[in-house]
Amino acid sequence: MALTYQETKLVKETLPALRQHGEHISTVFYKTMLRDHPELQNYFNTVNMHTGKQPRALTRLILAFASNIVNISELTPKLERVAQKHASLNIQPEQYEIVGKYLLRAFSAVLGPSMTPDVKMAWTKAYWVMAKMLTGREAHIYREFESWKGWRKFMIYNKKNETVEGNIVSFILKPVDGKPLPTFMPGQYITVRITVPGMKYAQLRQYSLSDAPSYDHYRITVKRDQGSNWDYVGNREDTVTMSSAASSASDSSLGSVQPCRAGVVSNSLIDDFHEGDTIELTHPSGSFYLNPKMDNSMPLVLISAGVCVAPLLSMLNTVVEKRINRPVSWIQASRHDAPFQAHIENLARKHPNMRTKFFKSRLSDSDVLSYTSSFDNDFLSLTAEDLYLSNGSAEYYICGPEKFMMQASNHLARHGVKPERVQFEIFSVGSFEMKLDD
């Protein structure tokens, strides 16, 4: 279903108008789709529906795809991340039919008379080029999941505070069916599905696995949300999907969408779920990971902030357990207690090729979106040895708030580290992801 030259031209000619009215497109799209298909709300992050993050991200993705329609390879990393997230959410091909129908209807509402039959056909083909790429990749991922299809029940075997404040909690999860668990790549995540009292629809959130793979349990680490507008990446309260719902700025445009406080799932897990309770998970997924089979001697630099330590701790524990002979530099920022600090320092004492750097930052739940030079100064205090800057083969894995990751990326770039040696865990929806690959 490749586009002709003329169809590609028609798509690109309408891009400026669609970009200009991107917010309106998202509002019309989601409002009408959820009105007619309320069952889809079982997939949606109700917080991000009200912040407007997901509609903007979805619009950007589609328009970015259209902009690169003749050079789709430029978008491969973005599409891989989306496909992995879809697989974690158990998104099915038939849901693309629904999304496409309402998306094109929203385009028509914006373009008006400019949405001629030829333009509509061109956009239909463009959408399905992207949809086929995603569903094809997702089908391959589902085959890799083998016998684990959809949701699987897990029991909370152990629940442990990881900080003195008790605001970061780890959950050891064991499968109710008692069957061995598949391995995963350290750094990947699972999706949790729970029922929250007072909410009509199931609530889904993605959480990084925070330990090395085990045949009988998984571990996730969750941070309490104090009511900020931003969630740590480790909590994965930000998830963009092709069928993710979102709203305009006003609740009145949402129809039947329920209002929701920030951190509803993370807080409910911490407050309402106890040892012996059950939750549902999907198979581990994700494109941010360390491949333990690639045994090499290149230095590994792991940089995190707050609960975003989770996927990097999975990497570190795997390196140690598998006795992978790589120099490791562990750099961790935190506002108060650093979760897992005692464990990490104990590992460093036993492994002479591991160095650690813990430091306090002024990042907090309320000011993380507006911090200025204070954290920049913290990061600048890191030495060339901490970052292995003299080694041109060192690999960097970074996980934290968007601005934390951007600051780290810029700092490394200024010191000559090439972008291909830096990996980010991206659970933001929109601008940061686009900036990284532009």
pLDDT at 249 over 60: no
384 contacts 412 by C-beta, under 8 angstroms: no
**Mean pLDDT across the chain, nearest whole number?**
84
The better pLDDT of the pair 310, 252 is held by: 310
Query: What does pTM read for this prediction?
Result: 0.88
pLDDT tens-digit readout, 76-119: 888 999 999 999 999 999 999 999 999 999 999 999 999 999 99
Exposed e or buried b per residue across 306-329, where buried means at least 16 C-beta atoms within 10 angstroms of its C-beta: bbbbbbbbbbbbbbeeeebebbbb
135: which residues sit within 8 A by CB, 6+ positions away?
93, 96
Residue 196 DSSP code? P
Lowest model confidence (mean pLDDT) among 25-39, 148-162, 366-380: 366-380
The catalytic position among 7, 102, 127, 138 is 138
> How large a percentage of the chain has pLDDT more than 90?
59
pLDDT tens-digit readout, 317-347: 999 999 999 999 999 998 888 999 999 999 9
pLDDT of residue 246: 26
The better pLDDT of the pair 243, 277 is held by: 277
Query: Which residues, in sequence order, are bridge partners of residue 175?
Result: 154
pLDDT tens-digit readout, 382-416: 899 999 999 999 999 999 888 888 888 889 999 99
C-alpha–C-alpha distance, residues 409 and 420, integer Å: 11
Structure tokens at 368: 């993380």
The amino acid at residue 410 is N
pLDDT tens-digit readout, 186-231: 999 999 999 988 888 889 999 999 999 999 999 999 999 875 433 3
User: Region 265-286: what's the mean pLDDT?
Assistant: 96
The answer to whether 96 is a known catalytic residue is yes
pLDDT band at 41 (very low <50, low <70, confident <90, very high): confident
The catalytic position among 7, 30, 43, 96 is 96
Structure tokens at 333: 């920022």
Alpha carbon of 216 to those of 143, 155, 174, 212, 256: distances in Å?
22, 11, 6, 12, 40
pLDDT of residue 259: 46
C-alpha–C-alpha distance, residues 83 and 136, integer Å: 9
In this structure, the number of other CB atoms found within 10 A of the CB of residue 365 comes to 21
Query: Which residues, in sequence order, are bridge partners of residue 357?
Result: 331
